[in-house]
Amino acid sequence: MNYHVHFIEDQKQFDQIMEGLREVTWLGFDTEFVGEKTYVPVLCLIQVVAENNIYLIDTLRVKNLNGLMVLLAAPEILKVTHAGDNDYRLLNILYGLVPKNTFDTQIAAGFVGYNYPAGFGKIVERELSVTLAKSHTVADWEQRPLDPKALDYAVEDVKYLPALHHKLTAKLRRSNREAWAQEENRKWENPAFYTTDPYKEILSNDYIHQLGFKDKVFLMRLFLWRRSKAAELNIPREAVLQSRHISTVLRSTKDGPGAFRSNRTLPENVWKRYAQEWLDLWSTKPTDAETEWLKALPSPAPDDPEREWTMELLYHFVKKQCLEQEISAALLLPKGDFNKLKSGSDEFDQDLLKGWRAGLLGENLVNWLQRGEALKMEWQGDHCILKMRS
């Protein structure tokens, strides 16, 4: 289809167009943002495709996007994206958006034989026999005026979404997996998907288990301080304090102000700016809430080679099942989530073993994954027999 392309940089024009799209049954969209310079990424451009039009919305000039947020939240309008999780996360941060009625081409492709996550260009080339230009994938989207070639790239990011939706939906229906894709997309339609645990960094840092109580309190405070400071200054956390210096700050703070001067690994401009704040964090008495949280902090699981072997074997069964069904294993059970399951972490999301995943894996394999029960291996001639030890 030939699309009419409109560049929108006027608020009144934007509002009129969004009002005119209230009756559409579907739209596709993508965002361009710059995330490496600030704590909250800067939204620079939104591309919307609807009917036979493509709208390039200059979000550095059009500040009020409520008209578009209404469309994205409307359950009667289908929203088509590719790798839409980052787009939805940013729009949730900026506008509180929780979308309804979503379809993602990357997720759909994972159900019909593509590795997950497959790139947009690869899917377009295979499904539509179109080769996309790649030269502006890292364009400076804050630059004004925008490079015409970058705008061409922005158009390509959405112009093929309707055709991809049509092709991939047909494949999903032929394999009876349309409901599976819909179930997977619904995670973006749940407000809980956008909730961030402020303690996530701490929980994922094994270093905390090597420390005494006061050191643990300080480390917890330091991570929360860095996050708060980055939000206050609107700069990345690494620009406040690099992760590789966290342990150095802990040791130097314990040893007093003079320790910062004698430490040559920590940049002088950083410790001179923040040393007093760190010393205040160190000297402040632990609160009851901090004490209770640290008491509840789970200890790392002891090394268990038998469980490690069992769970790795189980993951190969999962991958084999996915190969036979032509579904990406990374979509069914991402390796990071599997590692949480393998370690027995409370952070593992048990919903990842329900719904379409449970239907694909089968009851026995799901139960085995949940229990992580040790195996007994027996050789009987040319056959290898695997049994649960119980």
Per-residue pLDDT band for 256 (boundaries 50, 70, 90) equals: confident
**Over 86-152, what HEC string results?**
HHHHHHHHHHCCCCCCEEEHHHHHHCCCCCCCCCHHHHHHHHHCCCCCCCCCCCCCCCCCCCHHHHH
The predicted model scores a pTM of 0.90
* Segment 226-255 mean pLDDT: 95
d(CA 62, CA 175): 43
How far is Cα 138 from Cα 150, in angstroms, rounded to an integer?
Answer: 9
Spell out the domains of the chain, with CATH numbers in brackets.
4-194 (3.30.420.10), 200-295 (1.10.150.80), 305-388 (1.10.150)
Q: Helices 246-255 and 268-283, interaxial angle, to 10°?
A: 60
154-180 average pLDDT score: 97
Of 279 and 383, the structure prediction assigns the larger pLDDT to 279
Give the mean model confidence (pLDDT) for residues 329-352.
87
Q: What is the pLDDT of residues 32-74, one digit of tens each?
A: 999 989 999 999 999 999 999 999 999 999 999 999 999 999 9
Inform me whether the pLDDT recorded for 331 exceeds 90: yes
Whether the predicted pLDDT of 136 surpasses 60: no
Which whole number is the average pLDDT over 87-105? 97
pLDDT for 348 equals 86
Q: What is the pLDDT of residue 340?
A: 85
Own/partner long-range contacts of 329-336 (Cβ < 8 Å, ≥24 apart): 330/110, 330/115, 330/116, 330/117, 331/107, 331/110, 331/111, 331/116, 331/184, 332/357, 332/360, 332/361, 333/357
Answer whether residue 134 shows pLDDT above 70.
no
Q: How confident is the model at residue 168 (pLDDT cuts 50, 70, 90)?
A: very high
Q: Is the pLDDT of residue 135 over 60?
A: no
Here the tokens at position 353 are 């073993």
Mean pLDDT of the chain: 92
CA angle centred on 181, ends 177 and 183, rounded to 5°: 110
* Whole-number Å distance between alpha carbons of 85 and 193: 10
What's the rounded mean pLDDT across residues 143-166?
95
Q: Span 19-30, mean pLDDT?
A: 97
User: What's the whole-number mean pLDDT along residues 108-121?
Assistant: 95
Q: How far apart are CA 33 and CA 40, in angstroms?
A: 10
pLDDT in the model for residue 311: 86
Alpha helices in the chain (DSSP H): 11-20, 66-73, 85-95, 105-110, 120-128, 148-159, 161-174, 178-185, 200-203, 213-233, 237-240, 246-255, 258-262, 268-283, 288-295, 305-325, 329-332, 335-343, 355-361, 363-371
